[in-house]
Chain A
Amino acid sequence: MLVIPCPHCGPRCEIEFSYGGQAHIARPQDPAAADDATWADYVFMRDNTKGVFLERWVHSHGCRQWFNVARHTVTYEILASYETGAAPPNLDLESQA
C-alpha cells in the first residue's frame, strides 16, 4: 500500500487516489504545424522510467486536486510531491537503484 502525500491533505492511502501517468508532458506549441510524428510522441510515447519517475496523481476521494509525485518505480519510495505547475524538485532521475 502506497502512502501518498497529497500537498493539500497530507499523507493518505493509495486507494483514495487515481493515477495520471507521466507528468510534465508539454502540448505542441503550434498544434497546426505539428506533424504526425510530433503528435504520436505527444499523445502515445512515454518514458516508462525504471527508477525515479515524475508522475501525476489526483486525490479523487479527497480534495480532487491534481498534483505531481516523484516516485521510484522499483522500490516504490515516494521522494517528493508538489503542486501542478511547480518545477520538479532537484532529483537524480537517472538512478535505477
Chain B
Amino acid sequence: MTRYSLFSLLRNALNYHEDWPRAWRSPEPKSSYDAVIVGGGGHGLATAYYLAKNHGITNVAVIEAGWIGGGNTGRNTTIVRSNYLWDESTALYEHSMKLWEGLSQELNYNVMFSQRGVLNLAHNQHDLKEIARRISANRLNGVDSEFLTPAEIKDLAPIIDLRAGGRYPVLGASIQRRGGTARHDAVAWGYARAADALGVDIIQQCPVTGFRIENGRVSAVETAKGTIEAGKVAIAVAGHSSVLAKMAGFRLPVQSQPLQALVSEPVKPVLDTVIMSGAIHAYISQSDKGELVIGAGADPYIGYGQRGSLPVTEETLAAVCELFPMFRRMRMLRQWGGIVDTCPDASPVLGMTPVDGMYINCGWGTGGFKSTPGAGWVFAHTVAKNEPHDLNAAFSLNRFRTGYLIDEHGAAAVAH
C-alpha cells in the first residue's frame, strides 16, 4: 500500500498524478476463508479492518452485492454525534466518537471529519425538558453536552428564524461541540484500503443467495460467484437484514423503511454547524462543496425502494423553509432514500444469532453512520472471541425475550 503523505503527493504531482496505485485489489473469491463478512458498507469494512488489526484474523472476505459504500454508507447525511440518552447507547456511540477523532490518521485516509458541532433544537416546553434531561445524562456519562439559549443559537447560526414563522419557535437547543460530519464515501474507501492492505479480500458484485448450515452451525456462504466455505459468517447488511436472516432460518424484530435525504445546489458558506430538529424531521448542514445536505424522516411503512415518499419530502422542506426563510428560493439537486432497518426500541442488534458461527449487526435505524468505527470494533471482537464485547453485550437479540430493551425512541434526540 502506498502511504499517502505530502511527500507521495509531491512525487505523484511530477507524473501528473497518472501513477497512483489502486487503493485496493479486486480479487476473485478463494474457496475458503476463516471469516466471511456479508455486506461491504462502512460497518462490514470496519469489521474486517478491526478483525485483521486487533485480532490478527486476516484470512477474511467482505462480500458485497453491489459496490462498497453504495448502500446506506453513501446515502446518509454524514452526521456524527454521541449524545444519546441511555448508558448503554452512550457508551457505544462515545467509543465510536473517540475512534472518529483519530480515524484519518489511523487509516492514513482523510475522512474529512469535521467537529463543527451538532445542535438539537427544542420547539416546545416538553422538548426543553427532554433536552435538559439528556444533557444531564450525557454529562454523567462523560459526553460533552451543553444547553444553548435562543440568543446563543442565533449567534451560532444567524440565518435561523427563531420564531420560525410562528409554527416552530426555537426555545433552546442542546449542542455537542465534538459532534459534526465526515465524508461518508471516504469512510468506506478508507476502511476498504486499510483492510485490503492487511490481507482482506473485498469482493464486489457478489450477492449472497443462501447459507449452508449443518447441525445448527454455518459452514459456507452460497453466492453468485459460487460456494465459499466460511469458519464464521458476520452479517452487516442494514436494510436487507431480514432477507439474509430468513435465508439462515431465524427472524428479526426489525422493519425496513426508506429514510430520505436531499441536497441543494451549491452556495457560498451560510451554515457552519449541524442543526437538527427531531420534532419536525429536519436535519441540515452544509457540505464543503456548498450544498445544503438535508435529512428527512423515514417513510411510515415498510419499503425496499431506495427513494422515499413525496409527503415526507414535503413535510421536511416545509419545516426547513420555516426555520431558514432564506432557503425558500434554493433548488434541490438530488433526492434519494436509504433503507434503514429499525428495531422496536430504536437500538441496534449487535451480537450472536441462533446459528452457531453466525453473527449479526443490524437494526441501527438512523444511527448507522455515526457508529461505523465503534460498531466495527465491537463486532470484530464478537466475531473473533465468539462472545460480545462489554460495549455491545446489552444489544443482543435476546433482549427481546428478556424485555431488557434500550428504548431510544424519542430519547435519542431524534424522532424515529
- Residues on A lying within 8 angstroms of B by beta carbon are 1-2, 14-15, 18-19, 21, 36-37, 39-41, 43-50, 53, 55, 73-76
Contacts and interface: CB of A to CB of B under 8 A. Distances in A.
Interface stretch (B183-191, B221-229, B295-303, B380-388): B295-303
A95 B255 CA distance: 19
Contacts of A40: 253, 400-401
B301 A55 contact: yes
B311 A1 contact: yes
Nearest to B403: A36
Contact of A74 (B251, B300, B305): B305
A50 B304 contact: yes
Contact of A41 (B251, B301, B309): B251
A1 B240 contact: no
Nearest to A74: B304
30 contacts: A1-B309, A2-B309, A14-B309, A15-B311, A21-B302, A37-B401, A40-B401, A41-B251, A43-B400, A44-B253, A44-B400, A46-B251, A46-B252, A46-B255, A48-B252, A49-B302, A50-B240, A50-B242, A50-B243, A50-B256, A50-B304, A53-B302, A55-B302, A73-B302, A73-B303, A73-B305, A74-B304, A74-B305, A75-B305, A76-B305
Contacts of A15: 311
Contact of A76 (B256, B300, B303): B303
A76 B302 CA distance: 10
Contacts of B254: 46, 48
Find the residue from A41, A73, A75 having the highest chain B CB count within 10 A. A73
A43 B341 CA distance: 17
A21 B255 contact: yes
Contacts of B311: 1, 14-15
Interface of B: 240, 242-243, 251-256, 300-305, 309-311, 341, 344, 400-402
A66 to B, nearest CB: 15
A50 to B, nearest CB: 5
Contact of B301 (A19, A43, A45, A74): A19
A76 B303 CA distance: 7
A41 B391 CA distance: 26
Contacts of A19: 300-301
Contact of A73 (B300, B304, B310, B401): B304
B310 A1 contact: yes
A2 B400 CA distance: 32
B305 A45 contact: no
A21 to B, nearest CB: 7
B401 A45 contact: no
A41 B300 CA distance: 22
Nearest to B245: A48
B253 to A, nearest CB: 4
Given A45-B253, A74-B304, A36 B401 contact: yes
Contact of B256 (A2, A45, A48): A48
Contacts of A47: 242, 251
Nearest to A53: B302
A41 B252 CA distance: 9
B351 to A, nearest CB: 15
